[in-house]
Structure 1
């Protein structure tokens, strides 16, 4: 007998593809675009080196290059999916660096170029918690009446000490405050977290689930720590590999299951892992595609007879 969970289906976690179907009533695909943004942790406003884990080319599909216009990037992305899914609609995903970092009118011009494409139903803006003005939020709230608009914030950790150690350049307190500002404008908001950052114990990571569950967020993306070429961590890993606790796929699956047991069941889980391009990834190399990893998580949830939120709100041992 299959049971139905609070999110209205029998998957053991509140998954993103079901959320998209419920929201749009059809298949909608995110298409990454690179609008040539930088971020305050690279241009000297807050720092120049960027975050310790970051080489931003790890986030972008091959068709995304700022030398192409947004329309050209969208066309190229659509041509990849269209032969298979004739009627599919798309969300333009502004992904690389901080996509709300700039002068409001300039930002709106770039977003509008994406929204003017006939197959684009909305925008997803990836950014940092310290890069969103109220002025921009007011404009996006207006657009939200006509289009789907969502914002994803790179929080990475809920521990202030970790954010300092990884040279993040913002605090978790700013993540909390910005999340609340976005929600006050009725714009869906997601958070990104990296599991396995140096210095964080398993208890710390499970505490992230408890802390994140207090926020009024709509979705969450989990990423395993990856060491990528061109990042500060790559250098550190070469000189001092024992300062990292890189998970095997099996151990990370257990961590993810433990994590989602504690997660508020109302939060949509968008992903469990990220995949840096093979040529940039130093470690860990699991050799698993995203769908294979998801299948293993689902299998483990079933084996342990657990689900998202099973331990939510219960005192930790």
Structure 2
């Protein structure tokens, strides 16, 4: 039962932001979990189309460290993943999550062959596809739109920051303007849009991170993922850090910034994530990120202490 002291409308508990669990529960009326997959795609920022080496923070697995084994067929990965997840949630339903690398970076015929078995499978509630703004041509968007007749389809765009100077420094490979163009084309469809933001990128201030959150909150999107930069072994940024360490956000600074970001995001936007997971054996810094549950708990406590909630800063702007 929602606590009477919680002023946030999209909540069944003490959360003062629009959680992913809340959305899924009210959308599908049961527990829905993601099964992460690796379809063995590449990335235009790795093969030379727009860059080489990938983003400087990205691991060799293309941010799919928790995904399946690319040597296995995607449906095999899915079956193994769903078996593991149902040990925790026996009555839960699955969402297929194409996580590793850029999952629309292939000819349309290959994309259809990859996605179609999941689109047609009745027991899969939804599909999430992680990709980049520069890898969504109109024909791909048209195909994915056609899939929405059968499934809820989420497109996850790894933006990280609205600031082009930061994106260039981390070898992102496309501009904020490219991202905005793709958002406008996706907005004409029934596809759900989730945008990734990364806090503590080199040389960004907390104010810049909050500005990124406020800017994307004004766009026609449906969800946001926020997480802290992880410095990982065998990445360019990780190697640079080992040679010459640079300042990163403290746990307290991160919690403060996330709360401020939530305050400038409209309450209707779903918050799919507020912290991430780094493979512990590969994590260089910051080590405080491994205590994920305590970070989430302290975000809740800070919002309650300040009596703030998602979107409250926008509400105060309206009443001025």
Matching residue within 11, 22, 42 for 2:46: 42
Query: What secondary structure sits across from 1:206 in the alignment?
Result: helix
Matches within 5 A, 1:88-237: 88-237=92-241
Partner of 1:2: 5
Q: CA deviation at 1:61?
A: 5.4
Within the candidate set 287, 303, 312, 2:305 is matched to 303
Measured in 1, the distance between the counterparts of 2:193 and 2:30 equals: 21
Find the partner of 2:272 among 270, 273, 276.
270
Match of 1:17 in 2: 21
Shift of residue 119, structure 1, vs aligned partner: 2.8
- TM-aligned CA distance change 1:201 to 1:229, over 3 Å: same
Is the Cα–Cα contact under 8 Å of residues 42 and 101 in structure 2 kept in the other structure?
Answer: yes
Residue 293 of structure 1 and its aligned partner are, at CA, apart by: 1.9
CA shift, 1:208, in A, is: 1.0
Decide whether the 8 Å contact of 1:32 with 1:61 is kept in 2: no
Higher helix share: 2
Aligned length: 313
* Residues 287 and 216 (structure 1), Cα distance of their counterparts in 2 relative to 1, 3 Å cut: closer
In the alignment, structure 1 residue 57 sits paired with structure 2 residue 61: yes
How far apart are the structure 2 equivalents of 1:303 and 1:248? 20
Q: 60-69 or 103-112: which moved more?
A: 60-69
Give the corresponding residue for 1:259: 261
User: Structure 1's 63 and 184: CA in aligned 2 closer, same or farther, altered over 3 A?
Assistant: closer
In 2, the alpha carbon distance for the partners of 1:62 and 1:224 equals 17
Question: In structure 2, what is the Cα distance between the partners aligned to 1:47 and 1:109?
Answer: 27
Q: Deviations over 1:42-74 (max 9, x none)?
A: 011111111111104374356611101111101
**C-alpha separation in 2, matches of 1:257 and 1:4:** 15
Three-state SS of the structure 2 residue aligned to 1:23 is helix
CA 289–238 in structure 1, closer or farther in 2 if over 3 Å, else same: closer
**Displacement after TM superposition at 1:217 (Å):** 0.8
String of CA shifts for 1:144-174, please: whole Å, max 9, x gaps: 0111111000001000111111111000111
- How big is the alpha-carbon RMSD for the aligned residues of Structure 1 and Structure 2? 1.8
1:227 Cα deviation from its structure 2 partner: 0.7
Go from structure 1 to structure 2 and tell me whether the alpha carbon gap of 1:158 and 1:126 turns closer, same or farther (over 3 Å shift).
same
**Structure 2: 5+ residue stretches without partners:** none
Q: How far apart are the structure 2 equivalents of 1:46 and 1:126?
A: 18
| Alpha-carbon distance between aligned partners in 2 of 1:201 and 1:314, rounded to the nearest angstrom | 24
More displaced 10-residue stretch of structure 1: 214-223 or 107-116: 107-116
| Aligned residues of 1:58 and 1:280 also touching (Cα < 8 A) | no
Give the secondary structure class of the aligned counterpart of 2:154. strand
Moved more, 94-103 or 59-68: 59-68
237, 240, 253: which one pairs with 2:244? Answer: 240
User: What per-residue deviation string (whole Å, max 9, x for no partner) do you get for residues 243-281 of structure 1?
Assistant: xx2122222111111221122222111111111100111
On the 8 A contact 2:38/2:67 being kept in 1, the answer is no
